[in-house]
Structures are given as C-alpha cells and as structure tokens.
Amino acid sequence: MDSRNVLLVEDDVALSELVAGLLTHAGYHPITIVEHAQIAAAVEKWKPKCVILDGEVRLTGESRTWVDAAELRRAHPTLPVVMFTADTAALAEMRAGRSDRSVAASFAGSVSKPFVVEEFLATVRAAVDAPATAPSISVFPDVGKLVADWPETDLFGTIVHELRAPLTVIRGQVQRAQGHLVDHVDRASLALDSAISQVDRMERLISELLDHARLASNGLSLDVIELDLAELVKETLTSHDFGTAPKIAFERPAAPVIVYGDPARIAQILDNLIGNAQKYGSADSQIWASLRTQGLEAQIRVRDQGVGVPEDERARLFTPFFRTSVTRATRGTGLGLHISKRLAERHGGRLWLEESSTAGSTFALALPLAERRSEARG
C-alpha cells in the first residue's frame, strides 16, 4: 500500500480535482470520494496517512464533519484528520478545542476555503508527518449526542458554503498559474481557463440567489409581451443542442402558440429543464421536448434519460436548496427548479414533475394561452 495515500472527501468536483492535482504535485497519492458514507470503506481499502474532510451540509443545514471525524477517531485513533471547510465558526471552534464535539473529533489541523496553496500543503504535510500517536482522549463522547452541541445554522450558512467552493478553486488555480507562467505556459493557460469557468459558475450562483431573494420578496418584475411560444422553445432548445449530432427532439404544432409572458424568464425555465436533463443524463443520451395546447393552456414537456428522482424525495423537489440523494455529487445550488416553479406561477402557469424513474424523468410546464388572458380581462 502506498505510504503517501491521502483520502480527500469533497463533494465539489472542480475543487476535488484542484486539490488532487496539488497533492499529486507535492508527492502524495490522493484518493478522492464524494459521499461521506464511503469514508469507512475507503479508509479500510486504501489505508491513508491522512484524511482531508470537507464540510458537507446536510438537508437540515447541519454539517456532518464533526460526526464523521469523531467516528474516524473511534475506529482509527492514530489517523490524522484535517478539517477543510468554508465555515469560519467551525474553524474557530475547532481551533479553540473546548467543545465536546471538537474534543471528540480531535482534528490534526484545518484549512479554510478559500486557501493559500502553501499553507494547505504545509497543513497536510504536518498531519502526515506527525508521529502516529493516539490523541490524549480516554473516552470519546457518544457521536449521536453531539447534535445538541451543534450551533444553529441558517440559510446564510448554505449560501456561504456554495459560494466559497468556486472561490477556493479560483484562488488555487490562479496560484498554480502564477507558478507556471514562465516555464509552463500551457499549464498556466489551463489553470486560468479553470479559474474563469469558476467565475462563470459563481456568476450563475449569485444570479440564482438574487432571483430567489426577489421572488421571495415579490420584487421580481416581468417584461410581458405577446409571443409565439413555439418559436421561443425552438430557439432555446437550439442554444443547448450544438453538437454534431442533434440530441434534442422537438415536437411542435404547425400553428403559432400565442401566450403573454416575459420571453427571457420563460427561456430561463426552459434552460433549467434542458440543463438538468443534460447534466444528469449521459453524454449521448436523448432529450425529447414537446409543445401542445390543452384547453386554455400551452403545455411544454421535457423528457430525459437521467438518473430520475427517488419517490420519497419528490415532495421536496421544488423547495429551495434541495438536492436529491442521486444528484448531490453533481454541482448545483438546488435553486433552479424552485426558481423555475415560482417564475411559472408568476406567469399564471404551473411547473411539475409528471413522471420519473431510473430510466429518466418528464417535467411539464403549463402557461395560459393568450386567448385565456383576453377572456379573463373581458
């Protein structure tokens, strides 16, 4: 077994790739996993010299970092664990070392997000090279009783967690680029490209958060015009289907489908549905979209070949920040569907999950036809 194995537990793919690259360059052998439930098995298999543990946030808003670290202490008393988080309160608590859960976790060190590369590697090096002695704790508190010691968390904790991940990648990639500017121009260019993609990601995150806040306060206005929904759907789908072989099929009526709405916001709903279908399906999977009128509604359906939505999680699918158990490993805020549903309702329409299985899902968007709006005004 490689004596330089380091286990990295990180749910953000871009950040995981960055950290793994830094560890490899520093002479370590990184093993990366996403799911905290896999920690015990990974430790048994790879026998790492150190575990870098991220601050995954549960659906309740609680971080499981403390519990996971305490469980590692129980099973592997001499295995150093490094806290890797954007939660400044957790970092302060860990460094103070006075709370029950910080004593139980007994972290060997901590790294804040965003981080300085040299400080990050120095923390890992100190943890790996430290003498393999058990911490001076004779009895570990019961992990299940640590919950009462957790500080209260709120929406802003989740927001900080989401925003600091791309910031961490940006900082790390720019530092890598600085180190390669003279001798390795190609590496520097790749690092800067990665940083720019994270800036774009952060811009999307901030836009979604702003939309969420405006919708919550009823402060989002719509620029409503009369439009042909069929043409708008066609244009939106085309912007997503840019490969050599078309992967989005569109079934539409021959006649125009006239609605009143904000074209940018309706396109935003469609962008989210198509984007999710592409994100959670395989690279070559097909997507089917259809538009038809039913009664006084125009109904759009998007069917994919994605991972599906577990039946017991569907009731929460459109709630803010919710990520299903099968999609948490893929980056996202959990705001897209919530915002889309609210935008549909602002148009007098509806958005719902019509059907789902492991073979894919069908989402449906209904908007009132222009003639229905005219009758209502009359």
pLDDT, tens digit (0-9, with 9 covering 90-100), for 248-290: 999 999 999 999 999 999 999 999 999 889 888 877 789 999 9
Q: Smallest Cα–Cα separation from 25: which of 232, 153, 191?
A: 191
CATH number for the region 5-190 comes to: 3.40.50.2300
The pLDDT-based confidence of 232 (bands split at 50, 70, 90) is very high
Provide, rounded to the nearest whole percent, the portion of the chain with pLDDT above 90.
39
Q: What is the mean pLDDT of the chain?
A: 82
Q: In terms of pTM, does the model score above 0.85?
A: no
- Helix ranges (H only) for 226-304 are 229-240, 263-279
Residues in the chain: 378
Other Cβ atoms within 10 Å of 22 Cβ, number: 19
Superfamily in which the 225-377 domain is placed by CATH: Histidine kinase-like ATPase, C-terminal domain (3.30.565.10)
CA 22/CA 198 separation, integer angstroms? 17
Cβ contacts of 118 within 8 Å, gap of 6 or more: none
pLDDT bucket at 1, cuts 50 / 70 / 90: low
Every domain of the chain and the residues it spans: 5-190, 225-377
